[in-house]
């Protein structure tokens, strides 16, 4: 990669890194898996950046590459059974900044998301990130109608898990 | 209101990840080169060590010992061998240390320093190996000549000396080429990383 391109990439990524962190939280349940996925996303973004033409926002492109990395990595690892240590997903939440209900809700939400399959995880994640259907369909490479149908199913599944 | 909307609020208010990654860390992750190169230097060092030692155990040691006895070099070979192993282990430990250090560093300056250190270790290692082979060859040659000294005339002596010299240079040259191939490529890559890092350091 060219020097100026590298510098640009690094600063853009640094600013948008929270997208990658959130995806890692959705797809992994412990810190070391989180770090591994984060690095894999970084490598994929770096490799693909020269092809990024800037016709969309950096963040939009980042959602696409990062999610697809997570999905394909998750597919590969489905053969190995994963033990879920939900306890670690407290994610150092500062109790002072958030009232307790939100913290409990967030924990429950992650716990529920972790029970979904890889595609549903991506759909729910994009829904939570308030992405329009057009962007969701482009990110996941499916038609807008298909995205809508799949989204409703994913949401139903999530609601069923969340309901006591 | 949808059940999920409540959760969406919690989602939007979730804190950013406590571990903010700096652009240098991103760069290192994307490259993930330096640490893997140094890891390879460590692995190759060990593989070489194991390979050469298995050669030694495969050879007929009684035969070798007899030759040394004839040359009156048993003590020399024993002690130089022990010294050689101590130094070899020292280098392997160094390789490992370099690897550990490089995978753990965070700042450009430290990383660059570690790359330089690794290069120096490898260079010293190669110099040590070549020197060791050279000394052993010279000592063995001199001992052999000494044994046959009475039977040889000056002309023959010179010829043998010349042949031994050529052979030594040839062996050393081959060894050097071997190391150049083995470690040279890795060091070159490491050097490229170093240059990229120094550029990055200037922009920060």
* Position A27 in a domain: yes
Residue A121 host element (H or E) = helix A118-128
Nearest-angstrom CA–CA distance, A123 and A147 = 8
Which site among B7, B19, B33 would you substitute to test the A interface, given the most A Cβ atoms closer than 10 Å to its Cβ?
A: B7
- A127 to chain B, any CB pair closer than 8 A? The answer is yes
- Dist. CA B109–CA B204, nearest whole Å: 12
Cα distances (angstroms) measured from residue B39 to each of A35, A52, A55, B45, B94: 20, 32, 40, 10, 12
| A104/B13 Cα distance (integer angstroms) | 12
Is residue B56 included in any domain, yes or no?
yes
Q: Would residue B83 count as lying in a domain?
A: yes
Give me the number of domains chain B comprises. Answer: 1
Which regions in chain A score pLDDT beneath 50?
78-96, 98
- A-to-B residue pairs, Cβ atoms closer than 8 angstroms: 83
Q: Quote the CA–CA distance of B39 and B33 in Å, as a whole number.
A: 10
Alpha-carbon distance A141 to nearest alpha carbon in chain B (angstroms): 24
A109 with B3: Cβ contact below 8 A: no
Kindly report the CA angle at B129 between B128 and B133, in degrees rounded to 5? 115
Mutate: best of A7, A12, A42, partner B, most B CBs <10 A: A42
Residue B149 has phi, psi (to 5 degrees) of -55, -40
Query: Does B120 reside within a domain?
Result: yes
Q: Is residue B26 part of a domain?
A: no
The answer as to whether B21 is a domain residue is no
Q: How many domains would you assign to chain A? A: 1
Give the pLDDT score at A84: 43
Residue-level pLDDT at B33: 58
**pTM exceeds 0.80, yes or no:** no
Q: Residue B14 carries which DSSP code?
A: P
Which portions of chain B are predicted below pLDDT 70? 1, 31-36, 103-109, 196-197, 199-204
| Residue A4 is assigned to a structural domain of this protein | yes
CATH assignment of the domain containing A71: 1.10.1740.10
Residue B31 CA to residue B26 CA, distance in Å, equals 8
**Domain membership of residue B150 as a residue range:** 31-199
Asked if the structure places residue A152 within a domain, the reply is: no
Query: What integer pLDDT is reported at residue A120 of this predicted model?
Result: 93
CB-based contact, B17 to chain A, within 8 Å: yes
Give the domain extent around A5. Answer: 1-83
Which residue bears the tokens 């690794």? B118
Within a domain: B145 = yes
Q: Which residues of B touch A91 (CB under 8 A)?
A: 14-15, 17-18
Residue B4 lies in a domain: no
In a domain, B143, yes or no: yes
Residues of chain B found within 8 Å of residue A101, distances taken between Cβ atoms = 10
Largest Cα separation within chain B, whole Å, is: 109
Query: What is the structure's pLDDT at A81?
Result: 41
Residue A34 lies in a domain: yes
ipTM of the complex: 0.76
Q: Looking at residue A133, what is its pLDDT? A: 92
């Amino acid at each position: 990669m060219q020097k100026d391109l590298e510098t640009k990439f690094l600063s853009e990524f640094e600013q948008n890194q929270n997208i990658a962190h959130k995806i890692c939280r959705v797809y992994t349940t412990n810190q070391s898996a989180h770090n591994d996925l984060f690095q894999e996303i970084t490598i994929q973004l770096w490799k693909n950046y020269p092809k990024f033409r800037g016709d969309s926002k950096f963040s939009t492109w980042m959602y696409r590459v990062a999610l697809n990395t997570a999905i394909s990595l998750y597919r590969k690892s489905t053969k190995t059974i994963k033990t879920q240590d939900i306890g670690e997903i407290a994610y150092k939440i500062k109790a002072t900044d958030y009232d307790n209900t939100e913290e409990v809700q967030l924990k429950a939400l992650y716990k529920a998301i972790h029970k979904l399959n890889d595609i549903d995880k991506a759909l729910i994640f994009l829904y939570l990130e308030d992405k329009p259907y057009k962007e969701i369909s482009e990110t996941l490479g499916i038609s807008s109608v298909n995205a809508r149908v799949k989204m409703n199913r994913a949401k139903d599944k999530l609601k069923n898990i969340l309901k006591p | 209101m949808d059940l999920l909307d409540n959760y969406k609020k919690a989602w939007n208010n979730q804190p950013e990840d406590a571990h903010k990654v700096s652009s240098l860390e991103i760069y290192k992750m994307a490259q993930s080169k330096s640490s893997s190169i140094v890891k390879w230097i460590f692995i190759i060092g060990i593989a070489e060590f194991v390979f050469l030692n298995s050669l030694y155990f495969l050879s007929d040691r009684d035969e070798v010992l007899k030759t040394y006895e004839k040359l009156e070099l048993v003590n020399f070979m024993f002690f130089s061998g022990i010294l050689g192993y101590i130094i070899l282990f020292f280098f392997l430990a160094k390789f490992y240390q370099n690897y550990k250090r490089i995978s753990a560093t965070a700042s450009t300056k430290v990383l660059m320093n570690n790359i330089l250190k690794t290069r120096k270790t490898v260079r010293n290692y190669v110099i040590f190996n070549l020197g060791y082979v050279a000394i052993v060859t010279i000592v063995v040659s001199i001992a052999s000549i000494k044994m046959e000294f009475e039977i040889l005339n000056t002309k023959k002596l010179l010829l043998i000396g010349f042949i031994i010299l050529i052979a030594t240079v040839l062996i050393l040259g081959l060894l050097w080429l071997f190391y150049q191939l083995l470690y040279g490529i890795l060091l070159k890559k490491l050097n490229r990383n170093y240059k990229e890092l120094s550029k990055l350091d200037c922009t920060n």
